[in-house]
Structure 1
Amino acid sequence: MAVVDHDALTGPGRADQAVALVPAGGEAVYRGWMLRSEQYAAFAEALSRRGVTLRTSPEQYRQAHELPGWYAALAAYTPTSVWTGGDLRADFDRVRVELGNGPAVLRDYTKSMKHYWHEAVFIPDLADSETAWKVASRLRHLREDDFVGGFVLRRYERFTSVEARTWWVNGVCVLVSAHPDTPNDVPHLDVDLVAVTPVIAALGLPFITVDLALRDDGVWRIIEIGDGQVSDRPATTEPSSLVTALLAGTS
Protein backbone atom coordinates (compact mmCIF):
# COMPACT_ATOMS: atom_id res chain seq x y z
CA MET A 1 0.00 0.00 0.00
CA ALA A 2 1.25 3.49 -0.83
CA VAL A 3 -0.09 7.03 -0.69
CA VAL A 4 -0.25 9.28 -3.74
CA ASP A 5 -0.52 13.06 -3.63
CA HIS A 6 -3.95 13.79 -5.12
CA ASP A 7 -3.36 17.54 -5.34
CA ALA A 8 -0.24 16.90 -7.37
CA LEU A 9 -2.02 14.25 -9.41
CA THR A 10 -4.66 16.74 -10.53
CA GLY A 11 -2.13 19.51 -11.19
CA PRO A 12 -0.63 19.85 -14.68
CA GLY A 13 2.73 18.15 -15.11
CA ARG A 14 2.99 16.92 -11.52
CA ALA A 15 2.17 13.22 -11.88
CA ASP A 16 5.74 12.11 -11.11
CA GLN A 17 5.68 14.16 -7.92
CA ALA A 18 2.33 12.58 -7.01
CA VAL A 19 3.74 9.03 -7.09
CA ALA A 20 7.12 9.76 -5.52
CA LEU A 21 6.32 7.62 -2.46
CA VAL A 22 5.08 4.60 -4.43
CA PRO A 23 7.53 1.67 -4.20
CA ALA A 24 8.97 0.63 -7.54
CA GLY A 25 7.71 -2.47 -9.37
CA GLY A 26 4.55 -4.52 -9.34
CA GLU A 27 0.86 -4.14 -10.08
CA ALA A 28 -1.42 -1.60 -8.43
CA VAL A 29 -5.06 -0.68 -7.92
CA TYR A 30 -5.89 2.97 -7.27
CA ARG A 31 -8.45 3.79 -4.61
CA GLY A 32 -9.14 7.47 -4.20
CA TRP A 33 -10.83 10.60 -5.45
CA MET A 34 -12.20 10.85 -8.96
CA LEU A 35 -9.73 11.71 -11.69
CA ARG A 36 -10.36 13.00 -15.17
CA SER A 37 -9.43 10.43 -17.79
CA GLU A 38 -6.42 12.44 -18.94
CA GLN A 39 -5.22 12.75 -15.34
CA TYR A 40 -5.53 9.00 -14.88
CA ALA A 41 -3.51 8.46 -18.07
CA ALA A 42 -0.75 10.74 -16.75
CA PHE A 43 -0.90 8.85 -13.45
CA ALA A 44 -0.44 5.53 -15.26
CA GLU A 45 2.50 6.89 -17.23
CA ALA A 46 4.19 8.19 -14.09
CA LEU A 47 3.73 4.82 -12.38
CA SER A 48 5.09 2.99 -15.42
CA ARG A 49 8.30 4.98 -15.08
CA ARG A 50 8.58 3.39 -11.63
CA GLY A 51 7.89 -0.06 -13.04
CA VAL A 52 4.35 -0.13 -11.66
CA THR A 53 1.37 -1.19 -13.78
CA LEU A 54 -2.17 -0.21 -12.92
CA ARG A 55 -4.52 -3.17 -13.16
CA THR A 56 -7.05 -0.87 -14.85
CA SER A 57 -5.49 0.64 -17.95
CA PRO A 58 -6.17 4.26 -18.97
CA GLU A 59 -8.38 2.99 -21.80
CA GLN A 60 -10.38 0.81 -19.40
CA TYR A 61 -10.69 3.68 -16.94
CA ARG A 62 -12.14 6.00 -19.59
CA GLN A 63 -14.51 3.28 -20.79
CA ALA A 64 -15.99 2.81 -17.31
CA HIS A 65 -15.72 6.41 -16.13
CA GLU A 66 -17.38 8.16 -19.08
CA LEU A 67 -20.87 7.25 -20.29
CA PRO A 68 -20.00 7.16 -24.02
CA GLY A 69 -17.44 4.45 -23.23
CA TRP A 70 -19.95 1.90 -21.94
CA TYR A 71 -23.28 2.99 -23.37
CA ALA A 72 -23.26 1.09 -26.68
CA ALA A 73 -22.65 -2.26 -25.00
CA LEU A 74 -25.42 -1.73 -22.46
CA ALA A 75 -27.93 0.33 -24.45
CA ALA A 76 -30.67 -2.27 -24.06
CA TYR A 77 -30.41 -2.14 -20.26
CA THR A 78 -30.20 1.60 -19.60
CA PRO A 79 -32.21 4.69 -20.58
CA THR A 80 -31.79 5.78 -24.21
CA SER A 81 -29.05 8.41 -24.36
CA VAL A 82 -27.48 10.89 -26.76
CA TRP A 83 -24.59 13.28 -26.20
CA THR A 84 -22.58 16.16 -27.55
CA GLY A 85 -18.83 16.59 -27.92
CA GLY A 86 -18.80 19.94 -26.14
CA ASP A 87 -21.00 22.61 -24.56
CA LEU A 88 -22.26 24.55 -27.59
CA ARG A 89 -25.99 25.17 -27.84
CA ALA A 90 -26.12 24.15 -31.50
CA ASP A 91 -24.81 20.69 -30.59
CA PHE A 92 -27.16 20.48 -27.61
CA ASP A 93 -30.17 21.32 -29.78
CA ARG A 94 -29.09 18.75 -32.36
CA VAL A 95 -29.07 15.85 -29.87
CA ARG A 96 -32.19 17.20 -28.14
CA VAL A 97 -34.08 16.86 -31.41
CA GLU A 98 -32.48 13.45 -32.01
CA LEU A 99 -33.80 12.10 -28.70
CA GLY A 100 -37.31 13.35 -29.48
CA ASN A 101 -40.02 14.98 -27.39
CA GLY A 102 -40.90 14.13 -23.81
CA PRO A 103 -39.09 14.28 -20.48
CA ALA A 104 -35.35 13.71 -20.12
CA VAL A 105 -32.55 13.98 -17.60
CA LEU A 106 -29.24 15.74 -18.16
CA ARG A 107 -25.65 15.14 -17.09
CA ASP A 108 -22.15 15.34 -18.52
CA TYR A 109 -19.97 12.35 -19.42
CA THR A 110 -19.19 11.50 -15.80
CA LYS A 111 -21.65 13.14 -13.43
CA SER A 112 -25.06 14.72 -12.97
CA MET A 113 -26.07 17.38 -10.47
CA LYS A 114 -28.95 15.37 -8.98
CA HIS A 115 -29.13 17.59 -5.91
CA TYR A 116 -30.20 20.38 -8.28
CA TRP A 117 -32.86 18.20 -9.90
CA HIS A 118 -35.25 20.86 -11.16
CA GLU A 119 -32.52 23.38 -11.96
CA ALA A 120 -29.87 21.33 -13.70
CA VAL A 121 -31.10 17.78 -14.33
CA PHE A 122 -34.77 17.29 -15.18
CA ILE A 123 -36.18 18.58 -18.46
CA PRO A 124 -40.00 18.22 -18.51
CA ASP A 125 -40.26 18.23 -22.31
CA LEU A 126 -37.46 18.30 -24.85
CA ALA A 127 -39.81 20.07 -27.26
CA ASP A 128 -39.42 23.19 -25.10
CA SER A 129 -36.04 24.29 -26.41
CA GLU A 130 -35.65 27.34 -24.16
CA THR A 131 -36.39 25.49 -20.93
CA ALA A 132 -34.11 22.64 -22.00
CA TRP A 133 -31.24 25.03 -22.70
CA LYS A 134 -31.84 26.81 -19.38
CA VAL A 135 -31.35 23.49 -17.58
CA ALA A 136 -28.25 22.73 -19.66
CA SER A 137 -26.77 26.16 -18.95
CA ARG A 138 -27.33 25.69 -15.23
CA LEU A 139 -25.62 22.30 -15.30
CA ARG A 140 -22.68 23.78 -17.17
CA HIS A 141 -22.41 26.61 -14.65
CA LEU A 142 -22.55 24.31 -11.64
CA ARG A 143 -19.99 21.87 -13.04
CA GLU A 144 -17.55 24.67 -13.93
CA ASP A 145 -14.05 23.26 -14.50
CA ASP A 146 -15.28 19.78 -13.57
CA PHE A 147 -17.46 19.58 -16.68
CA VAL A 148 -16.36 16.53 -18.69
CA GLY A 149 -16.84 15.90 -22.39
CA GLY A 150 -20.25 17.28 -23.25
CA PHE A 151 -23.94 17.19 -22.46
CA VAL A 152 -25.63 13.80 -22.11
CA LEU A 153 -29.40 13.67 -22.53
CA ARG A 154 -31.13 10.54 -21.25
CA ARG A 155 -34.73 9.47 -21.75
CA TYR A 156 -36.57 9.84 -18.43
CA GLU A 157 -37.76 6.60 -16.85
CA ARG A 158 -39.80 6.26 -13.67
CA PHE A 159 -38.24 4.14 -10.92
CA THR A 160 -39.90 2.66 -7.86
CA SER A 161 -36.84 1.72 -5.79
CA VAL A 162 -33.75 3.38 -4.42
CA GLU A 163 -30.56 2.75 -6.35
CA ALA A 164 -28.46 -0.27 -5.50
CA ARG A 165 -24.71 -0.08 -6.01
CA THR A 166 -23.20 -3.36 -7.20
CA TRP A 167 -19.45 -3.98 -7.14
CA TRP A 168 -17.85 -6.09 -9.88
CA VAL A 169 -14.41 -7.66 -10.10
CA ASN A 170 -13.41 -9.31 -13.37
CA GLY A 171 -17.02 -9.51 -14.53
CA VAL A 172 -18.40 -11.00 -11.30
CA CYS A 173 -20.63 -9.14 -8.84
CA VAL A 174 -18.96 -9.47 -5.43
CA LEU A 175 -21.11 -7.13 -3.33
CA VAL A 176 -24.47 -5.31 -3.34
CA SER A 177 -24.62 -2.16 -1.22
CA ALA A 178 -26.70 0.95 -0.74
CA HIS A 179 -25.96 3.89 -2.99
CA PRO A 180 -23.63 6.47 -1.37
CA ASP A 181 -26.24 9.21 -1.85
CA THR A 182 -28.83 7.19 0.11
CA PRO A 183 -26.73 5.15 2.55
CA ASN A 184 -29.60 4.53 4.96
CA ASP A 185 -31.99 3.31 2.29
CA VAL A 186 -31.48 -0.42 2.07
CA PRO A 187 -31.72 -1.54 -1.57
CA HIS A 188 -33.30 -4.72 -2.78
CA LEU A 189 -30.66 -7.34 -2.02
CA ASP A 190 -32.37 -9.60 -4.54
CA VAL A 191 -31.40 -7.35 -7.45
CA ASP A 192 -31.95 -9.36 -10.62
CA LEU A 193 -28.56 -9.47 -12.34
CA VAL A 194 -29.27 -12.44 -14.62
CA ALA A 195 -29.81 -10.39 -17.77
CA VAL A 196 -27.02 -7.88 -17.25
CA THR A 197 -24.27 -10.18 -15.97
CA PRO A 198 -23.15 -11.48 -19.40
CA VAL A 199 -22.98 -8.01 -20.95
CA ILE A 200 -21.15 -6.55 -17.98
CA ALA A 201 -18.67 -9.43 -18.04
CA ALA A 202 -18.19 -8.89 -21.80
CA LEU A 203 -16.93 -5.38 -21.11
CA GLY A 204 -13.74 -6.98 -19.82
CA LEU A 205 -13.25 -4.33 -17.14
CA PRO A 206 -11.34 -5.41 -14.01
CA PHE A 207 -13.07 -3.32 -11.33
CA ILE A 208 -16.31 -1.37 -11.77
CA THR A 209 -19.51 -0.39 -10.02
CA VAL A 210 -22.94 -0.69 -11.59
CA ASP A 211 -25.86 1.24 -10.11
CA LEU A 212 -29.33 -0.21 -10.76
CA ALA A 213 -32.92 0.69 -9.91
CA LEU A 214 -36.29 -0.99 -10.40
CA ARG A 215 -38.38 0.62 -13.12
CA ASP A 216 -42.13 0.96 -12.62
CA ASP A 217 -42.74 -2.00 -14.94
CA GLY A 218 -40.72 -4.30 -12.67
CA VAL A 219 -37.53 -4.34 -14.80
CA TRP A 220 -34.13 -3.65 -13.26
CA ARG A 221 -32.31 -0.92 -15.19
CA ILE A 222 -28.71 0.24 -15.20
CA ILE A 223 -28.49 3.86 -14.09
CA GLU A 224 -24.74 4.29 -14.11
CA ILE A 225 -21.45 2.49 -14.49
CA GLY A 226 -18.30 3.78 -12.86
CA ASP A 227 -14.70 2.78 -12.41
CA GLY A 228 -14.56 1.02 -9.05
CA GLN A 229 -11.31 2.70 -8.10
CA VAL A 230 -13.04 6.06 -7.75
CA SER A 231 -16.57 4.90 -6.81
CA ASP A 232 -17.71 6.04 -3.39
CA ARG A 233 -18.54 3.57 -0.64
CA PRO A 234 -21.80 4.17 1.24
CA ALA A 235 -21.23 5.02 4.89
CA THR A 236 -23.38 2.06 5.94
CA THR A 237 -21.02 -0.45 4.29
CA GLU A 238 -18.03 -1.16 6.50
CA PRO A 239 -14.65 -0.75 4.79
CA SER A 240 -13.72 -4.26 5.86
CA SER A 241 -16.81 -5.70 4.15
CA LEU A 242 -15.89 -4.03 0.87
CA VAL A 243 -12.23 -5.03 1.08
CA THR A 244 -13.12 -8.64 1.90
CA ALA A 245 -15.50 -8.83 -1.06
CA LEU A 246 -12.99 -7.29 -3.44
CA LEU A 247 -10.19 -9.60 -2.34
CA ALA A 248 -12.46 -12.61 -2.70
CA GLY A 249 -13.25 -11.54 -6.23
CA THR A 250 -9.59 -11.46 -7.23
CA SER A 251 -8.73 -14.87 -5.79
Structure 2
Amino acid sequence: MKKQPTPVTTPLEAATQAVYQAFAKYSAPEVGTLDVCTACCMDADLALQMSHLPLPQLTEKHFYQYNDSAKSQVQPADEIKYLAPRLLELLAEGARLHHSTELYLDRLGRCEPGSFSATEQAALQGFALAYFVQGLEQWPAGSDSLFQGDNAFTILLMWAYARVPLETLLQHWLDSDSDASTLHFVDACYWDYVWNANQMGNAFAADQAEYKRTMEEWLNRPATKARWAEKLMRLVDTGPTSSWLPAGAVDHQRYPLPERISAVFDAMTA
Protein backbone atom coordinates (compact mmCIF):
# COMPACT_ATOMS: atom_id res chain seq x y z
CA MET A 1 0.00 0.00 0.00
CA LYS A 2 1.41 3.36 -1.02
CA LYS A 3 1.50 6.19 1.46
CA GLN A 4 -1.22 8.77 0.91
CA PRO A 5 -0.09 12.41 0.60
CA THR A 6 -0.38 14.40 3.82
CA PRO A 7 -0.59 18.16 4.32
CA VAL A 8 2.87 19.71 4.21
CA THR A 9 3.81 22.48 6.64
CA THR A 10 7.62 22.49 6.76
CA PRO A 11 10.47 22.10 4.23
CA LEU A 12 11.43 18.82 5.90
CA GLU A 13 7.91 17.46 5.51
CA ALA A 14 7.93 18.55 1.86
CA ALA A 15 11.28 16.81 1.37
CA THR A 16 9.88 13.65 2.96
CA GLN A 17 6.96 13.65 0.54
CA ALA A 18 9.37 14.19 -2.35
CA VAL A 19 11.29 11.07 -1.29
CA TYR A 20 8.06 9.05 -1.22
CA GLN A 21 7.23 10.27 -4.72
CA ALA A 22 10.71 9.57 -6.09
CA PHE A 23 10.72 5.98 -4.81
CA ALA A 24 7.02 5.20 -5.27
CA LYS A 25 7.50 2.57 -7.97
CA TYR A 26 9.36 0.08 -5.78
CA SER A 27 7.63 -2.92 -4.16
CA ALA A 28 8.19 -4.74 -0.91
CA PRO A 29 10.79 -7.52 -1.04
CA GLU A 30 9.42 -11.02 -1.34
CA VAL A 31 8.91 -12.86 1.94
CA GLY A 32 12.12 -14.53 3.01
CA THR A 33 14.41 -12.44 0.81
CA LEU A 34 15.05 -9.51 3.18
CA ASP A 35 18.82 -8.95 3.51
CA VAL A 36 19.04 -9.69 7.25
CA CYS A 37 20.12 -12.45 9.61
CA THR A 38 17.16 -13.91 11.49
CA ALA A 39 19.27 -16.55 13.22
CA CYS A 40 20.60 -14.12 15.81
CA CYS A 41 20.34 -10.49 14.62
CA MET A 42 16.72 -9.74 13.74
CA ASP A 43 13.47 -11.13 15.08
CA ALA A 44 11.98 -13.33 12.35
CA ASP A 45 8.48 -11.92 12.85
CA LEU A 46 9.75 -8.35 12.41
CA ALA A 47 11.59 -9.37 9.24
CA LEU A 48 8.40 -10.96 7.93
CA GLN A 49 6.43 -7.80 8.73
CA MET A 50 8.85 -5.68 6.73
CA SER A 51 7.87 -7.68 3.66
CA HIS A 52 4.09 -7.63 4.05
CA LEU A 53 3.00 -4.73 6.29
CA PRO A 54 2.11 -1.46 4.56
CA LEU A 55 5.21 0.73 4.48
CA PRO A 56 3.75 3.46 6.77
CA GLN A 57 3.21 0.84 9.49
CA LEU A 58 6.90 -0.03 9.80
CA THR A 59 8.30 1.33 13.04
CA GLU A 60 11.49 2.40 14.73
CA LYS A 61 11.81 -1.14 16.13
CA HIS A 62 11.71 -2.68 12.65
CA PHE A 63 14.41 -0.40 11.29
CA TYR A 64 16.64 -0.56 14.36
CA GLN A 65 16.91 -4.35 14.07
CA TYR A 66 17.11 -4.17 10.26
CA ASN A 67 20.03 -1.72 10.39
CA ASP A 68 21.78 -3.57 13.21
CA SER A 69 21.56 -6.94 11.49
CA ALA A 70 24.37 -8.69 9.66
CA LYS A 71 24.01 -7.74 6.00
CA SER A 72 25.59 -8.16 2.60
CA GLN A 73 28.49 -5.87 1.78
CA VAL A 74 26.61 -4.77 -1.35
CA GLN A 75 22.99 -4.01 -0.63
CA PRO A 76 19.99 -4.98 -2.83
CA ALA A 77 19.08 -1.61 -4.32
CA ASP A 78 15.37 -2.31 -4.94
CA GLU A 79 14.89 -3.39 -1.30
CA ILE A 80 16.68 -0.30 -0.01
CA LYS A 81 14.80 2.05 -2.32
CA TYR A 82 11.45 0.59 -1.28
CA LEU A 83 12.27 1.09 2.41
CA ALA A 84 14.12 4.43 2.11
CA PRO A 85 11.07 6.75 2.32
CA ARG A 86 9.88 5.28 5.61
CA LEU A 87 13.43 5.11 6.97
CA LEU A 88 13.90 8.83 6.29
CA GLU A 89 10.44 9.71 7.56
CA LEU A 90 11.26 8.03 10.87
CA LEU A 91 14.59 9.88 10.95
CA ALA A 92 12.71 13.17 10.56
CA GLU A 93 10.47 12.13 13.46
CA GLY A 94 13.44 11.57 15.77
CA ALA A 95 13.49 7.77 15.74
CA ARG A 96 16.54 5.85 16.94
CA LEU A 97 17.51 3.73 13.96
CA HIS A 98 20.79 2.11 15.03
CA HIS A 99 23.04 2.05 18.09
CA SER A 100 25.28 4.61 16.32
CA THR A 101 23.88 7.65 14.51
CA GLU A 102 26.67 7.54 11.92
CA LEU A 103 25.31 4.20 10.67
CA TYR A 104 21.61 5.08 10.45
CA LEU A 105 21.80 5.32 6.64
CA ASP A 106 24.70 2.94 5.99
CA ARG A 107 22.57 0.60 3.87
CA LEU A 108 21.87 3.37 1.34
CA GLY A 109 25.57 3.84 0.75
CA ARG A 110 26.17 0.12 0.27
CA CYS A 111 24.15 -0.08 -2.95
CA GLU A 112 26.09 -0.49 -6.19
CA PRO A 113 27.35 2.81 -7.66
CA GLY A 114 24.80 4.10 -10.14
CA SER A 115 21.87 2.39 -8.42
CA PHE A 116 20.01 5.67 -7.86
CA SER A 117 18.54 7.68 -10.72
CA ALA A 118 19.04 11.43 -10.98
CA THR A 119 15.52 11.96 -9.63
CA GLU A 120 16.19 9.66 -6.67
CA GLN A 121 19.53 11.30 -5.94
CA ALA A 122 17.90 14.73 -6.03
CA ALA A 123 15.23 13.60 -3.57
CA LEU A 124 17.85 12.26 -1.16
CA GLN A 125 19.90 15.44 -1.49
CA GLY A 126 16.80 17.58 -0.88
CA PHE A 127 15.90 15.61 2.22
CA ALA A 128 19.46 15.77 3.57
CA LEU A 129 19.52 19.55 3.16
CA ALA A 130 16.09 20.08 4.74
CA TYR A 131 17.03 17.80 7.65
CA PHE A 132 20.35 19.57 8.22
CA VAL A 133 18.84 23.06 7.92
CA GLN A 134 16.13 22.31 10.48
CA GLY A 135 18.54 20.62 12.88
CA LEU A 136 20.99 23.51 12.81
CA GLU A 137 18.29 25.86 14.11
CA GLN A 138 17.64 23.74 17.22
CA TRP A 139 19.82 24.79 20.13
CA PRO A 140 20.58 23.49 22.69
CA ALA A 141 20.89 20.23 20.75
CA GLY A 142 19.53 17.84 23.36
CA SER A 143 18.58 14.22 22.90
CA ASP A 144 15.07 15.29 21.89
CA SER A 145 16.32 17.52 19.07
CA LEU A 146 16.49 16.48 15.42
CA PHE A 147 20.21 15.69 15.80
CA GLN A 148 19.41 13.58 18.90
CA GLY A 149 22.18 15.17 20.95
CA ASP A 150 24.90 14.48 18.38
CA ASN A 151 27.07 17.23 16.97
CA ALA A 152 26.68 18.42 13.40
CA PHE A 153 29.82 16.68 12.16
CA THR A 154 28.29 13.37 13.24
CA ILE A 155 25.20 14.20 11.20
CA LEU A 156 27.31 15.05 8.16
CA LEU A 157 29.15 11.75 8.57
CA MET A 158 25.78 9.96 8.64
CA TRP A 159 24.99 11.49 5.23
CA ALA A 160 28.48 10.63 3.98
CA TYR A 161 27.79 6.98 4.80
CA ALA A 162 24.69 7.27 2.62
CA ARG A 163 26.89 8.67 -0.19
CA VAL A 164 24.99 11.95 -0.25
CA PRO A 165 27.30 14.84 -1.31
CA LEU A 166 27.93 17.29 1.51
CA GLU A 167 28.82 20.48 -0.37
CA THR A 168 25.29 21.91 -0.41
CA LEU A 169 24.89 21.28 3.32
CA LEU A 170 28.24 22.87 4.10
CA GLN A 171 27.47 25.92 1.99
CA HIS A 172 24.17 26.47 3.78
CA TRP A 173 25.94 26.20 7.13
CA LEU A 174 28.53 28.74 6.08
CA ASP A 175 25.90 31.14 4.74
CA SER A 176 23.63 30.94 7.79
CA ASP A 177 23.68 33.91 10.15
CA SER A 178 21.77 32.29 13.01
CA ASP A 179 23.41 32.00 16.42
CA ALA A 180 22.15 28.42 16.69
CA SER A 181 23.99 27.28 13.57
CA THR A 182 27.19 28.96 14.77
CA LEU A 183 26.90 27.27 18.15
CA HIS A 184 26.58 23.94 16.37
CA PHE A 185 29.85 24.74 14.62
CA VAL A 186 31.51 25.51 17.95
CA ASP A 187 30.40 22.23 19.50
CA ALA A 188 31.31 20.15 16.44
CA CYS A 189 34.78 21.66 16.19
CA TYR A 190 35.38 21.51 19.96
CA TRP A 191 34.53 17.83 20.28
CA ASP A 192 35.19 16.32 16.88
CA TYR A 193 38.03 18.09 15.05
CA VAL A 194 41.75 18.34 15.84
CA TRP A 195 42.84 21.64 14.32
CA ASN A 196 46.59 21.29 14.74
CA ALA A 197 46.51 17.87 13.07
CA ASN A 198 43.84 18.74 10.47
CA GLN A 199 42.00 15.57 11.43
CA MET A 200 38.38 14.60 12.00
CA GLY A 201 38.03 13.02 15.44
CA ASN A 202 35.12 10.61 14.97
CA ALA A 203 36.27 6.98 14.91
CA PHE A 204 33.54 6.15 12.37
CA ALA A 205 35.32 8.46 9.91
CA ALA A 206 38.44 6.28 9.81
CA ASP A 207 37.48 4.50 6.58
CA GLN A 208 35.49 7.38 5.07
CA ALA A 209 38.23 8.95 2.96
CA GLU A 210 35.91 11.16 0.92
CA TYR A 211 34.23 12.53 4.03
CA LYS A 212 37.57 13.36 5.64
CA ARG A 213 38.88 14.97 2.48
CA THR A 214 35.75 17.08 2.03
CA MET A 215 35.59 18.22 5.65
CA GLU A 216 39.27 18.87 6.15
CA GLU A 217 39.56 20.83 2.90
CA TRP A 218 36.44 22.88 3.74
CA LEU A 219 37.53 23.67 7.29
CA ASN A 220 40.96 24.86 6.16
CA ARG A 221 39.81 26.93 3.19
CA PRO A 222 40.77 30.59 3.90
CA ALA A 223 37.29 31.84 2.96
CA THR A 224 35.69 29.31 5.31
CA LYS A 225 37.92 30.31 8.20
CA ALA A 226 37.31 34.01 7.58
CA ARG A 227 33.55 33.56 7.54
CA TRP A 228 33.51 31.49 10.74
CA ALA A 229 35.85 33.93 12.45
CA GLU A 230 33.39 36.71 11.63
CA LYS A 231 30.47 34.77 13.06
CA LEU A 232 32.37 33.71 16.17
CA MET A 233 33.44 37.29 16.83
CA ARG A 234 29.80 38.33 16.68
CA LEU A 235 28.96 35.76 19.35
CA VAL A 236 31.81 36.96 21.53
CA ASP A 237 30.69 40.57 21.16
CA THR A 238 27.08 39.71 21.93
CA GLY A 239 27.80 37.40 24.86
CA PRO A 240 25.91 34.26 25.88
CA THR A 241 22.20 34.27 26.50
CA SER A 242 20.36 31.97 28.89
CA SER A 243 19.11 29.87 25.96
CA TRP A 244 22.67 28.83 25.17
CA LEU A 245 23.20 27.13 28.51
CA PRO A 246 20.79 24.30 29.38
CA ALA A 247 20.56 23.77 33.14
CA GLY A 248 22.13 20.60 34.47
CA ALA A 249 24.17 19.66 31.39
CA VAL A 250 27.45 18.36 32.80
CA ASP A 251 29.53 19.23 29.76
CA HIS A 252 28.28 22.83 29.92
CA GLN A 253 29.33 23.03 33.56
CA ARG A 254 32.81 21.59 33.01
CA TYR A 255 33.43 23.27 29.66
CA PRO A 256 31.41 26.51 29.60
CA LEU A 257 30.24 27.52 26.17
CA PRO A 258 32.04 30.89 26.12
CA GLU A 259 35.28 28.99 26.72
CA ARG A 260 34.47 26.62 23.87
CA ILE A 261 33.87 29.57 21.55
CA SER A 262 37.23 31.08 22.49
CA ALA A 263 39.02 27.74 22.13
CA VAL A 264 37.63 27.13 18.65
CA PHE A 265 38.35 30.70 17.55
CA ASP A 266 41.94 30.52 18.81
CA ALA A 267 42.60 27.13 17.22
CA MET A 268 41.07 28.14 13.90
CA THR A 269 42.93 31.46 13.63
CA ALA A 270 46.32 30.26 14.94
Length-normalised TM-score, structure 1? 0.26
Q: Structure 2 length normalisation: TM-score?
A: 0.25
The structure carrying a bigger helix percent of its residues is 2
Larger Rg: 2
